[in-house]
């Protein structure tokens, strides 16, 4: 049977279509083959005493990794997170860091939750030459570990000093007291810091009590002793899981009018839920504000609230922000080479974040440059930013 002109034309069209489809398929295969998967180690405290923060960080970091992929900010580069649980343990934290660096051959590490684990594990990352972003630890000295370790948060000591100076300005507070967990390096460091800040501000320290470990839950004896001194302000330097019960027990001990102050672990839905009205007027600093109009922050808050049916807090924000910053560093590095990533951390300049008023920050001495906000807790579980 012979072909007419119409048949030949249809045949040519099919040939062109098939050729186009083949070219498209080859192009897609070429892109897929050229895509570089970059393994990122994510060590967090997902069980143990610090899990209250580590789980929130993980949840927020999952959203951040998804947002990086969805926006296409890295082009053909794909970040592949490898989550590991350090169990709120220093030895496990060291082991996890070694596994990520040596067994999994990650290009970079982002995460960590507890300051004592950072003190033990970050020097290991430095020794193994793995570019690392500490996402939550706020103990002093982490900026001095070495040129592979950078920090997306700042130590709490300066923020706490600023808070004491702010509340002392009106002359309302005459006496102060300190309750701290002595085995935690962050709180052991902050106790003399807040004591010195009280004294500098003209607030007389009338009592200091210690808590043995992060597993303690009964502080009634210490708080009874503190209540006997009737301080105007009490610094509570405990883990987030301990802070809510401490608020309640402090009120029960007779500290009904005392103002509580602390650091970022006050900003926790768990603390507010457990403490209830006992948290009224408690004060704390944080580099993040949920109501920030920054587009990155609005998107984060909306997605986090929708997905987990709870509002994000400072720990959630720290996790999200650390991944956002790492993605920008890897974009500058152009791939997963460790040395290129280290160099990019050193030279990155301004980065977009969900922190601060303008959403910009940079590294200074391997620490982010941030100015804190100050917050007052309300009896209904909300918080109010202080002017």
Domains delineated in the chain? 36-154+291-370 (3.40.50.2300), 157-286 (3.40.50.2300)
Q: Inform me whether the pLDDT recorded for 264 exceeds 80.
A: yes
Binned at pLDDT 50, 70 and 90, residue 253 comes out as very high
How many CA atoms lie within 13 Å of 213's alpha carbon, on the beta-carbon side? 5
Residue 51 has phi, psi (to 5 degrees) of -65, -25
Query: Is 379 or 276 the better-scoring residue by pLDDT?
Result: 276
- Nearest Cα neighbor of 242 from 275, 264, 277, 202 is 275
Q: How far is CA 23 from CA 31, 36, 345, in A?
A: 12, 22, 39
Q: What is the DSSP letter of 312?
A: -
Give the pLDDT mean for 375-385.
89
Whole-model pTM?
Answer: 0.85
Report whether pLDDT(27) > 50.
no
Nearest one of 284, 166, 306, 286 to 234, comparing CA atoms? 284
Per-residue pLDDT at 268: 84
Average pLDDT value for residue range 215-242: 95
**Average confidence (pLDDT) over 232-253:** 95
Residue 18 — pLDDT band, cuts 50, 70, 90? very low
- Give dist(CA 264, CA 89) in Å, integer: 21
Provide mean pLDDT across the span 337-356. Answer: 96
* Residue with the larger pLDDT of the pair 273 and 197: 197
Cα separation, 334 vs 197, in Å, equals 45
């Amino acid at each position: 049977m012979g072909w007419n002109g119409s048949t030949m034309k249809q045949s040519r069209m099919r040939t062109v279509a098939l050729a186009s489809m083949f070219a498209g398929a080859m192009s897609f295969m070429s892109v897929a083959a050229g895509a570089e998967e970059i393994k990122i180690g994510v060590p967090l405290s997902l069980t143990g005493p610090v899990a209250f923060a580590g789980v929130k960080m993980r949840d927020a970091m999952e959203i951040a990794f998804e947002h990086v992929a969805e926006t296409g900010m890295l082009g053909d580069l794909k970040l592949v997170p490898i989550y590991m649980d350090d169990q709120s343990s220093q030895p496990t934290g060291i082991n996890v860091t070694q596994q990520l660096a040596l067994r999994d051959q990650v290009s970079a590490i982002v995460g960590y939750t507890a300051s004592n684990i950072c003190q033990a594990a970050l020097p290991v990352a430095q020794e193994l030459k793995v570019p690392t972003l500490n996402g939550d630890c706020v103990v002093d000295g982490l900026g001095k570990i070495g040129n592979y370790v950078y920090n997306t948060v700042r130590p709490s000591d300066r923020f706490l000093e600023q808070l004491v100076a702010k509340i002392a300005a009106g002359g309302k507070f005459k006496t102060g007291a300190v309750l701290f967990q002595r085995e935690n390096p962050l709180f052991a460091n902050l106790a003399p810091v807040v004591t010195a800040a009280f004294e500098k501000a003209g607030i007389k320290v009338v009592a200091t009590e210690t808590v043995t470990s992060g597993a303690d839950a009964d502080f009634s004896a210490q708080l009874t002793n503190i209540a006997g001194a009737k301080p105007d302000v009490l610094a509570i330097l405990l883990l987030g899981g301990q802070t809510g019960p401490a608020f309640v027990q402090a009120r029960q001990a007779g500290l009904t009018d005392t103002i509580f102050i602390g650091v970022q672990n006050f900003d926790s839905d768990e603390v507010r839920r457990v403490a209830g009205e006992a948290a009224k007027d408690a004060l704390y600093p944080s580099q993040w504000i949920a109501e920030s109009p920054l587009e990155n922050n609005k998107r984060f808050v909306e997605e986090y609230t929708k997905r987990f049916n709870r509002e994000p807090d400072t720990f959630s924000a720290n996790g999200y922000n650390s991944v956002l910053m790492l993605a920008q560093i890897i974009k500058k590095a152009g791939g997963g080479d460790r040395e290129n990533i280290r160099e990019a951390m050193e030279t990155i300049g301004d980065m977009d974040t969900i922190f601060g008023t303008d959403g910009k920050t940079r590294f200074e001495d391997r620490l982010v440059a941030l100015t804190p906000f100050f917050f007052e807790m309300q009896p209904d579980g909300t918080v109010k930013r202080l002017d």
